[in-house]
Chains A and B, each alone.
Chain A
Amino acid sequence: MLTADYFDGRSTRVRVVRLEAAGEDLLITGEDIERRVPMAQVRVDERLGRAPRRLRFADEAFCVVSDLNALDALLSSTAHRDGWVDRIQRRARFVLLSMAVCVALAIATYQWGLPWAADIGAAHMPAGVGVQLSNQAVKVLDGGVLLTSRIDVDRQKALAAKFHALRLPEGGNAKAELLFRRSPQLGANAFTLPDGRIIVLDDLVTIIGDDRQILAVLAHEAGHGRGHHGVRMLLQSSIVGAFLAFYVGDISSLLALAPAALMQARYSRDFEEQADNYGAAVLRVNGMSPGLLAEALDKLSKSHKETAGAGYLSSHPATVQRMRHLRSL
């Protein structure tokens, strides 16, 4: 025996009724009400937690049942079956499975989905966008973090000339423009803008000293430019930022992303390895040893230990491993 509240769908009047299954029909009896409705015409709500379930009839009238187990017993004697989503969302096994799949999908998206999407995005990005982004970045950084270089202009020109004389493995010469800047915060560093231009910081030139080793670092940076690593990183961090903004509900944080991504983006190890391999290939094509890049890294790592500040290596992890790899090439 199952009791329910009956509503006619037109007023808020509550009538207490009894529900019974009678063959193919549902029997509703109570205060001035007596109905017999074919079970096939009754729509039964999902079982959502402990919320009362409604049995709805064609004429807007409905019954509200609070005793969910008794209702399940009554329904099991009829042809009614709960929907599959309804069933799985209250079974611990499926709930745990869903959680595991959601977590796995989130990790996989971060690990592979995002780089894959960024790769496609970078390949289809018009060249003008990269230039615009880079101009914007230079404008923001110049006068803030980046200051005018104190390196002799002749030395700058000589380095650029040597760099542009480098032949590339895919044919042609290195074309990327070099921007010399000084930055007390960033120390000995070089980074590639989304349009391929390379920012070279004073400390990097003075600490390495040897032109051939500096060229090795620039060849490595050219590898970042060739792989569109800047744009890819930017796209990845934008997507992550948009997702976080949606999650946290603050769109304005999106605006801070572009410079932040450029400055603090720690190029992933994959990008570094690709750039190392490309740099090594450039050096070999020009009759130089990939070991030069390893020697440059060695010098930077030694100076890094002395200053213990930000530097080229803090954005380039696992240096020892990389030097070993480069020397083996």
Chain B
Amino acid sequence: MNQGTDSDSQGRNPSAVAPVPVRFTGSGAEYFGIWIVNLLLTIVTIGIYSAWAKVRRLQYFYRHTELAGSSFDFHGSPIKILIGRVVALLMLIAYNYTVRIQSVWTLAVVGGIGLIMPWLLRNSLRFRLYNTSWRGVRFHFRGTVGRAYRVFLLYGILSVITLYIMAPFMHQRVKAFQHNNTWFGKTQCSFHAGAGQFYKIYLVLLAAIAAFAILAGFSGVFGLFIAATEAQKHGGRVNPYDTLKAVVMLYAITILVVVSIGPVFRALIANLIWSNTRVGEHRIECNMAPLGLIWITFSNLVLIVLTLGLFIPWASVRMAKFQLEAVRLVPAGDLQEFVDAEPDQTGAVGEEAASAFDFDISL
């Protein structure tokens, strides 16, 4: 553990300001045991145990994530997660049912979910951050309900009616809302990326999708597909192998897009977001390699399919290690100086814990 002592000295020495890397020490084999036992308990309790399994999963990942010699911790209560899951499931059922059986209720249910969502998202952020700690100091989310409605609902509607031209703008506002309102103890975090930087990455994404569409066009898949359907329309007998070939090629292209463009986009966005986030005066650097993420995503997908899902624990650990270890903290000074929120503010903290629903939205 040479590097462990390295980061120790960096974290504990007040004069050291060299970047401190995040380390992830989990192992797939170890996590497999936890995963499979909790999966079985979840199955035999018809899903109820999944809340406890989720707490254990988060604790496994948080506690194996180490910064300056100390690990993170998750404190969430399984009961609150269970309540959150029941609420989410009820909304999902209501949504699916009413969308399929179109009636006057469809609009009411979809509208109702849209109206309640910003509040739920904000509460889930409070829950997730309040229950995350490092060295015994907890994170807090202090975004107001009003801002949540503005960011999620108003900008959401704006981005839809402008045919998603404003989607990168909304993405920037959501991240600014999240990170500017995050506190580590008494230290506030801040977000410094502008909407223009989000637009640049979305343009790269758009260009990549266009390139793939042109490539697919040249490979003749669409031609093959259209020819097959046209021939069918006019009653001609189509060679089933042509249809099959077109379908298989379309499928292959879709998978190619998912495992290449998706990871590149995710890596670029993560680098932008985290490299522009600060904890007080301390900067964060995120340097995730897009090619590396493509490789992890692709190999994970192949191995999960080949093992019919049994590779999932190894896949999760590999992904977490790759993503977390791309992050470094550049301290502006001593990491011992963080102090938890004032005792008189714990009233608000208690309320945070009480009214929270846990919905998983990416942090």
State the A residues within 8 Å of B (CB): 5, 7-14, 45-46, 48-52, 54, 60-62, 64, 85, 88-92, 94-95, 98-99, 101-102, 105, 143-145, 147, 184-185, 247, 309-310
A102 in contact with B136 (CB, 8 Å) = no
User: Contact partner of A184 among B36, B134, B237, CB < 8 A?
Assistant: B237
The answer to the question of B359 belonging to the interface, with a C-beta cut-off of 8 Å to chain A, is no
Chain A nearest CB: distance from B90 CB in Å? 16
The answer to the question of B25 belonging to the interface, with a C-beta cut-off of 8 Å to chain A, is yes
A52 in contact with B71 (CB, 8 Å) = yes
Provide the bound-state CA to CA distance between A215 and B63, in Å.
69
Given the known inter-chain contacts A12-B135, A14-B70, please indicate yes or no for A50 contacting B232, CB distance below 8 A. Answer: no
Provide the bound-state CA to CA distance between A145 and B27, in Å.
51
State the B residues within 8 Å of A (CB): 11-12, 25-27, 30-34, 36-41, 43, 56, 59-60, 63-64, 69-71, 73, 134-137, 185, 232-233, 235-238, 240, 309-310, 335-340
Chain A nearest CB: distance from B5 CB in Å? 12
Provide the bound-state CA to CA distance between A52 and B66, in Å.
10
Chain A nearest CB: distance from B60 CB in Å? 5
A250 to chain B: closest residue by CB: B258
Provide the bound-state CA to CA distance between A60 and B346, in Å.
13
A89 in contact with B338 (CB, 8 Å) = no
Provide the bound-state CA to CA distance between A94 and B36, in Å.
10
A48 in contact with B70 (CB, 8 Å) = no
Provide the bound-state CA to CA distance between A50 and B66, in Å.
12
User: Contact partner of A12 among B38, B64, B137, CB < 8 A?
Assistant: B137
Q: What residues of B have a CB within 8 angstroms of the CB of A143 in the complex?
A: 233
A89 in contact with B12 (CB, 8 Å) = no
Given the known inter-chain contacts A12-B338, A105-B43, A184-B232, please indicate yes or no for A51 contacting B60, CB distance below 8 A. Answer: yes
> Chain A interface mostly helix, strand, loop or mixed?
loop
A51 in contact with B64 (CB, 8 Å) = yes
B8 to chain A: closest residue by CB: A14
Q: What residues of B have a CB within 8 angstroms of the CB of A10 in the complex?
A: 136-137, 339-340
Chain A nearest CB: distance from B157 CB in Å? 22
A5 to chain B: closest residue by CB: B70
Residue picked from A7, A49, A52, A94, most chain B C-beta under 10 Å:
A49
Provide the bound-state CA to CA distance between A57 and B189, in Å.
29
A-B contact pairs, 23 of them (CB 8 A): A7-B135, A9-B340, A10-B340, A11-B339, A12-B135, A12-B185, A12-B336, A46-B59, A48-B64, A49-B31, A49-B60, A51-B25, A51-B64, A85-B37, A89-B34, A90-B33, A95-B37, A99-B310, A102-B39, A144-B232, A145-B232, A185-B232, A310-B240
A94 in contact with B232 (CB, 8 Å) = no
A-B pairs with the 6 shortest C-beta distances? A51-B63, A7-B136, A49-B30, A12-B135, A89-B37, A12-B338
